[in-house]
Structure 1
Amino acid sequence: MRRPPVLLALLSASGLVLAGCGGDSDAASSDGGTTVVTSTNVYASLVEAVAGDAVDVIPIIDDAAQDPHEYEATARDQLELSRADVIVMNGGGYDSFMTTMLEAIDEEPDVIDAVAASDLPGAEEAAANGHDHDHAHDHEEEPDDDSGDHADGAHGGDAHDEEGHDHAHDHGSFNEHVWYSVPTMIAVVDEIESHLAETTPDSAEALTANADEVRGQLTELDDRISDLAASHDGENAAVTEPVALRLFDDLGLTNVVPDQFVSAVEMGSEVSPIAVQEATEALDDDVRVFAYNTQTSGPAAEELRGQADGLGIPVVEVTETMPEGTDYVTWMTETVDAVEQAIA
C-alpha cells in the first residue's frame, strides 16, 4: 500500500531520533519476542490478562485523559505498529488512527478487530466502513435543529430520526463503543487466545487457562447485567454522548436524551438550542441514572449534568479509556456497580 507522504516524512525525519532514544517499548519490539500493539489500554488489559508474560503489550493510548476520538498518531506509533506481531483495535471507525497506520504498512499484519469480532447488529458493515472513514472529522452537515429523537439505538445502530437520518457519524449509525458490551469483549478474548496460540504455540496451554479465567469473570458479570435488566427493563436513563449506551442497552435502560444532543456532544460541535431544551425537559421523565463521559464533554453536557444534579438524579462518570492502575474486568465491574447503585 502507498504510504501517506506526511507519515513518510515523519518517519524519515525522526528515524535517527527513534533509533537513539528507544525506551523499553522499542527494546520489547526488537528482542525477538512476540509483541502485541493495541489501540487503547482497554484492549491492552485484555491481552495482558490472557497472555500474561508470554508477550509484550504496547498500547498506543495509555493515558486516561486522552480522548481516542481526537488522537493523532506519531512516527513512534507507526514504528511500533510496523514491528507488531499482533494488533488489537476497536474498529468501526472509532480508532481511525490505527486504520491510517495500517494502510502505511506494506505487509498485512495479524489484526484483531473488536467490532468485526462482535455479533452486534450492523457490526459487519461497520467493520468494513471503519476502514474507509475517519471517526468524526469529515462530517459535511450539522444535524437538523428540529430533531427530537433519542439516541437509544446503541445496539444495532437504530439511532436515526423518522425521516431516516443516520446518527451523525461518518461511518454510519452503528455505536462503535463496543468495549461497553461485555459479550463483545468475551468474543475479543476468544480472538486474542486464538491469534496468540498461533503466534506463541509454546504458551498455548497457559493462554487457554488464562482465557478461561477471564471468560468466566466476564460471563459472571454479563449474567449479573442480565439479572439487573430483568428488574429494571424499560426504566429511563440519560447520557451526554453514546459511550455508555451499549451497557445501558444490555441493562434494559432507555436513554431519553435526544439524538441530536448526544451526537453534537460526541462530535464536539455546538448543540442546538432546541436539542438543549428537549434534553433538559427529558430529565423530568423519571430518569434513574445519568451517565457523564468525562473525556468528551462541553458546555452543553456540563449544563445538562448540572440539571441532573439539581434534580437529584444519580450521576455515573464514564470514560473512553481505563484509569491508571486497574484492569478491564475490575473497571467494568465498578461501572456496573455504580449504575446498579444509582438505579436501585
Structure 2
Amino acid sequence: MRAQTRIGAATASLALASLGLVACGASADDQSSTGTTIVTSTTTWASIATIIGGEDFTIEALISDPAMGPHHYETSPRDIATIQDADLVLFNGGGYDQFVVDALESTSPAPRSINAYDIHLEHDHDADPGHTGDHDGHDQGTTPDDAHHDDHDAHDEGDHEAGDSHGEDSHDASSGEHGHDDGHGHGDDDGHGHGPVNEHIWFDLHTMSAVADELAGQLSEMNPDGAEAYQANAASFAEQIEALEDRAASIRAAHEGTEVAQTEPLTEYLLDELGLVDIAPREFVLAVENGTDPAASVTAAFSDLLDDREAAVLMYNATRESPTTRIMRDRAEANGTPIVAVAESVPAGMSYLEWMDSILDDVAEALDQE
C-alpha cells in the first residue's frame, strides 16, 4: 500500500460562512469601518483577528506567505513602521516571532499588543482531554506596559503547560532500539517556570479560544460601538472550537494510544488532544527544531522505526523541510506509512477553523488505515 500525503484539503464541515471568514486579513491598503489597524505576525493570527473583528479593522499579516516560517525572518524597515503605526499587534510569542517582540521593545510608546503565548501559559488547561467544557473568564494577554482589563476573571495555571511530559523512556539512537518517549517541550525553558517551550500554540484549541476572548475584549475597548459584535463573534468561535474538540474526542476514543512520529514538535498539542503518542527520537526533533542536522545514528533510529512500521502515521512539517526530514518522508512513503503534511500557518483561501477541521480529517483518515 502506498502512503497517502495530505495537506489540509478544504473539506470543512463547520458552519463558517455566516462569519464571512477568510484566511488572512485585509491588506493595509484596504479601508476598515473604524480606520483602525491590527497587525499580526502571521496569517494564522490574521485569520483569528478577522474572525473576531470582521470588517471593522484593517488587518495586516507581516508574513503573508503561509509557506514562510518566522524563525529566520528578517524585519524590514517597513515592518518596523507598520508595527509602530499599528493600533494593536497580535503575535504568537514564545520566541516563535521574536522579531515582533524586538520591534515592540524598540518602539516608544509601544502600541497595545496581545502575546498569545502568555495567554497560553496563564490559561486553565485542567479540562478533560478532548473537550474544554468552559470557555468563560480568560486571563488577559499582556501589553508592553502590562495593562490589563478588569472585566475578565483570572484562571489558575493548569497542567497543560508548554513542556508537558508523559514518559521518561527515549529512543536509544545508538542502539537503534526504540523506547517510546512522548515527552513534550523541545526548546529552552520558557523563563516562567513552566518547563521547555513549545511555541506552536495554534494547535492547542483551548488556547485559541482564550486568545479570541482576549482579542474581543481589547477590540471592544478600541471600538465600543462594535463591542457586542466582537463578543458574539468570540462566543461563536468558542462554539466552533468546541465542535472541533468534539471531533478530536471521537478520534481519541477510536485511536487513543496509537503511536505516531513527527519530524518536528509542530502538532504535539493536537496529538495530546487526540491521545496519540509521538515515538520519534527526541534527539531528532530537537535537532530539526533548532535548525541543525541530527546525528547519523539518530537519523538511522528514526528510519528503522519507520521501516518497522512502528508509527501508524508520519506527521510532517511541510513548511520547514530539510534534506533530513525529506529522508523520513521518503522512507514513510516507501513503507506505506500514511503521511499527514501540515504547514505552520493557515493556507491561502482558508480560515483557521477550516484549517483545523481539514487537519482532523487528514489525521482521522490516516489513522483509519492502521
Cα distance in 1 for residues equivalent to 2:63 and 2:244: 26
Secondary structure in 2 matching 1:278: helix
Summarize the Cα distance change of 1:57–1:316 in structure 2 as closer, same or farther, 3 Å threshold. same
1:341 Cα deviation (Å)? 0.5
Change beyond 3 A, Cα 1:93–1:36: same
Contact 1:266–1:297 (CA<8 Å) still a contact in 2? Answer: no
Counterpart in the other structure of 2:199:
176
Contact 1:236 1:285 in 2 (8 A): no
Q: How does 1:38-117 map to 2 (within 5 A)?
A: 38-117=40-119
Q: Deviations over 1:161-191 (max 9, x none)?
A: xxxxxx3447562211000111111111111
Which residue, 250, 253, 258 being the options, matches 2:273?
Answer: 250
Contact 1:152-1:245 at 8 Å conserved across structures: no
Query: Deviations 1:130-152 (Å, cap 9, x if unpaired)?
Result: xxxxxxxxxxxxxx986987663
Instruction: Name which of 20, 25, 29 aligns with 2:28.
Output: 25
Count of aligned pairs: 291
Deviation at 1:224, TM superposition (A): 1.2
Q: How far off is 1:285 after superposition?
A: 5.2
Q: For residues 181 and 282 of structure 2, what CA distance do their matches in structure 1 show?
A: 4
Please report the TM-score for the alignment, with normalisation by the length of structure 2. Answer: 0.73
Asked whether the equivalents of residues 287 and 294 of structure 2 are also in contact (C-alpha less than 8 Å), the reply is yes
Separation (CA, whole Å) in 2 of partners of 1:191 and 1:95: 19
Alignment map for 1:1-344 (pairs within 5 Å): 25=28, 33-118=35-120, 119=123, 152-154=182-184, 157=185, 167-169=186-188, 171=190, 173-283=196-306, 284=308, 286-344=310-368
Give distance in 1, aligned partners of 2:29 and 2:329. Answer: 43
1:140 matched to which residue of 2?
none
Unaligned runs of 5+ in 1: 1-22, 128-143, 158-166
Give the RMSD, CA atoms, in angstroms. Answer: 2.7
SS in 1 for 2:28: helix
Give unmatched runs, 5+ long, in structure 2.
1-25, 126-138, 143-171
Distance 1:73 1:120 in 2: 34
Taking the aligned partners of 1:334 and 1:341, their CA distance within structure 2 comes to 11
Cα gap change, 1:27 to 1:316, in 2 (>3 Å): closer
What's the CA shift for 1:37?
Answer: 0.7
Q: Read off the aligned partner of 1:217 and give its amino acid letter.
A: Q
Question: For residues 71-120 of structure 1, what are the alpha-carbon distances to aligned partners after superposition, in whole Å with 9 as ceiling and x for unaligned?
Answer: 11111111111111111111111111111111111124321111111237
| 1:326 to partner: Cα distance | 0.9
Q: Distance in 2 between matches of 1:277 and 1:200?
A: 56
**Secondary structure at 1:213 match in 2:** helix
Q: Is the 8 A contact 1:151 1:242 kept in 2?
A: no
Residues 333, 32 of structure 1: alpha-carbon distance in 2 compared, 3 angstrom cutoff: closer
User: Looking at both structures, which has the greater relative contact order when contacts are Cα pairs under 8 Å and sequence separation is at least 6?
Assistant: 2
The alignment partner of 2:198 has SS state of coil
What is the identity, as a one-letter code, of the residue corresponding to 1:116?
A: D
Rounded to whole Å, the distance in 2 between the matches of 1:151 and 1:194 is 40
State the TM-score, normalizing by the size of structure 1: 0.78
Contact 2:173 2:300 in 1 (8 A): no
Q: Which residue of 1 aligns with 2:10?
A: none
Q: For 1:199 and 1:62, locate their aligned partners in 2 and report how far apart those are by CA, in whole Å.
A: 25
